[in-house]
Structure 1
Amino acid sequence: MGKTTYKRLKGSQSMRQRLLLATLSSTPILIEDIRADEMLPGLRPHEISLLRLYEKVTDDCVIEINETGTKFKYKPGIVMGGRNLVHDCGVTRSIGYFLEPLVVLGLFAKKPLSIRLKGITNDSKDPSIDTFLSTTLPLLKRFGVPSEGLVLKIESRGVPPRGGGEVLLSVPVIQCLTAVNWIDEGMVNRIRGVAFTTRVGVQHGNEMIYAARGIFNRLLPDVFIFSDHKTGPQAGNSPGYGISLVAETTSKCCISADTTISYGRQDEAGEFEEEEKKELAPAADVGEQLASVLLEEIKHGGVVDSTHQGLLFLLCALCPEDVSKVRVGMLSPYGIETLRNIKDFLGIVFSINADPSTGTVILKCLGCGLKNLSRKVS
């Protein structure tokens, strides 16, 4: 066998996407200078956990990390998928951090993927499990992913700092994605949502719902926010509450926003943040603020919200060699970083045109034609 040539990259940014694109394009990578100048240099616990997750769902991948964790080599293997897998995501990032790359990997696996993920289901940093259910899965279906076999089930909720949540994810295998022409945003015709509480009184959920409805009911009549009060083992290990809202449009677009209020999580040194000593924010204020955040997302326009731009662009790039055309609001930093990574790994450049009449941006690209060659043909 010949010597492996590694694509050299620097820094810790976009590690999730770099690993995903490296795996899908079978590109060995070497990442250096990972937080080399920081007080705590090297890979964080959630990044190491992500690498271990890749080891579980792929066969023959090779990971070499240096002693300080500031440099590692990753040689992708074959995406296998598999049933009854279990992975502990830890408590430094939520399960949402792991789900986005995992669900895309699962589509191009040899066998359908079924995995139990443990950790934090809702926090203020990553998209929550509720947002994944209401917005991310419908987005995948736009690209031809079948509903059968695409399942996400919340077994128990967990919030920072101690987690205790569990979810079950099932992903079907596909031959290839379907290119989209998705520029019709439609008009918002209904609001749906979930307000959850764990290890706190159910009134917190009711207050969030009442406050959010107070804003939305002035604008449209069809508003329904479910209450999900967890107790006992299903409530995880820490007290907290939060709300996830989604605006559905006449053209079946889903624009989402979510937040979670809990005590601080552990920092890298293992110390709890000062928030541990503070009172949690009033539930009514949380509901009102998140309703305003969702209205801001709707105002920006586009067929997805700012947190889903990266996944949208990635799916467009992985489509067959056909033109995909999508409309988004103002490009988010994550969206811009995704476009750079796609160009870097797949050589695909999007044409970007502003639409001054709506303040939105229309992007077009020719897919890379990724096919699932390892999938068993029945």
Structure 2
Amino acid sequence: MGREKSRRLSGSRDFRQRLVLATLTSTPITMNDIRAGEGGLRPHEMSLLRLLDKVSDQHVIDVNDTGTKVGYKPGVVIGGKDLEHDCGVHRGIGYFIEPLLLLGLFARSPLSVRLKGITNDTKDPSVDTFRMVTLHMLKHFGVPLEGLELKIESRGAPPRGGGEVLLRVPNINSTLKAVNWIDEGMVKRIRGVTFSTNVSPKIVTRIFYAARGLFNKFIPDVHIFTDHRAGGFLPNCHVSRLWRICSC
């Protein structure tokens, strides 16, 4: 890591958060004892390092042969246009979107990246959660919605993936503002998505009517959108795990 003093950390806990905070604060870090005797870094963690390499410049990433030690000297987040990254099938695309959103806001130029892999699974937040909830929450922190987009072009289910999304993140010219957001308000409307891949369209229609019938018992303003993809990799059909419940 050169002559600069590096902050020494241990283990694999909070791997993404460590990389993001080190990048935003320009703090070199060294992570030791990463799953010693258990194979070191996992494939999705190596994939995250490769993604970080694509959106940054003037940085140094050093991984030892066993994958149990990572040295990271952050550089400059440059963003980029028309980038592509294969997230693999070990973790969902949501695992990679979270750090990209944080880093992309402070990049030198707007970020546009196409991510391929698993769009919906039980480990990570689904792409629907980011599109319908997270992106709208960012406006409360002063992030402009213009240029902020997550487009779902195809869905992919585990274990073979095959999904594809396009993420666009604008860069902000000022710091984020603090938010005192403790009033949950009253529920006024509910929005959701039912999706299916490689099964009969009738199944997603049945889910649509069943879900809307349940929510209509509590509130009349319910809109559930359907997304059926005939060319999915594996049979998969269920209601998106998180609904957008609006109180504004």
Same fold per superposition (TM over 0.5) = yes
Cα displacement (A) at 1:70: 1.0
Normalised by the size of structure 2, how large is the TM-score?
Answer: 0.94
CA distance in 2, matches of 1:26, 1:207: 51
CA distance in 1, matches of 2:5, 2:238: 46
CA distance in 1, matches of 2:141, 2:238: 30
Q: 1:217 to 1:180 in 2, by over 3 A?
A: same
Mapped pair 1:98 → 2:113 = no
Aligned amino acid, residue 246 of structure 2:
T
CA distance in 2, matches of 1:2, 1:239: 51
Normalised by the size of structure 1, how large is the TM-score?
Answer: 0.63
Aligned amino acid, residue 120 of structure 2:
N
Cα displacement (A) at 1:162: 0.7
Partner of 2:183: 184
- Verify the 8 A CA contact 1:61 1:76 in the aligned structure 2: yes
Q: Runs ≥4 in structure 1, deviation > 4 angstroms? A: none
- Verify the 8 A CA contact 2:101 2:169 in the aligned structure 1: yes
Partner of 2:44: 46
Equivalences for 1:116-127 in 2 at 5 Å? 116-127=114-125
Cα displacement (A) at 1:247: 4.0
Equivalences for 1:60-139 in 2 at 5 Å? 60-139=58-137
Query: Deviations for 1:82-129, whole angstroms, at most 9, x for unmatched residues?
Result: 111111101100110000110110010001111111111111111111
Q: 1:2 to 1:66 in 2, by over 3 A?
A: closer
Richer in helix (by share)? 1
Count how many residue pairs are aligned between Structure 1 and Structure 2.
246
Partner of 2:236: 240
Aligned amino acid, residue 178 of structure 1:
K
- Verify the 8 A CA contact 2:8 2:31 in the aligned structure 1: yes
Mapped pair 1:17 → 2:13 = no
Equivalences for 1:257-268 in 2 at 5 Å? none
Cα displacement (A) at 1:2: 6.7
Partner of 1:342: none
Aligned alpha-carbon RMSD (Å): 1.6
CA distance in 2, matches of 1:108, 1:146: 13
SS in structure 2 of the partner of residue 181 of structure 1: coil
Aligned amino acid, residue 240 of structure 1:
N
CA distance in 1, matches of 2:61, 2:172: 27
CA distance in 1, matches of 2:203, 2:59: 46
Mapped pair 1:201 → 2:200 = yes
Partner of 2:56: 58
Cα displacement (A) at 1:207: 2.8
Partner of 1:3: 3
CA distance in 1, matches of 2:64, 2:165: 32
CA distance in 2, matches of 1:222, 1:246: 13
Which sections of structure 1, spanning at least 5 residues, go unmatched? Answer: 253-378
Q: 1:90 to 1:82 in 2, by over 3 A?
A: same
Aligned amino acid, residue 143 of structure 1:
F
- Verify the 8 A CA contact 1:199 1:240 in the aligned structure 2: yes
- Verify the 8 A CA contact 1:188 1:247 in the aligned structure 2: no
Aligned amino acid, residue 77 of structure 1:
G
CA distance in 1, matches of 2:28, 2:182: 35
- Verify the 8 A CA contact 1:197 1:228 in the aligned structure 2: yes
Partner of 1:29: 29
Equivalences for 1:270-349 in 2 at 5 Å? none
Query: Deviations for 1:40-86, whole angstroms, at most 9, x for unmatched residues?
Result: x2001000000000000000111111111111111111000011111
- Verify the 8 A CA contact 2:133 2:244 in the aligned structure 1: no
Partner of 1:362: none
CA distance in 2, matches of 1:132, 1:201: 27
CA distance in 2, matches of 1:131, 1:115: 18
SS in structure 1 of the partner of residue 50 of structure 2: helix
- Verify the 8 A CA contact 1:155 1:167 in the aligned structure 2: yes
Partner of 1:337: none
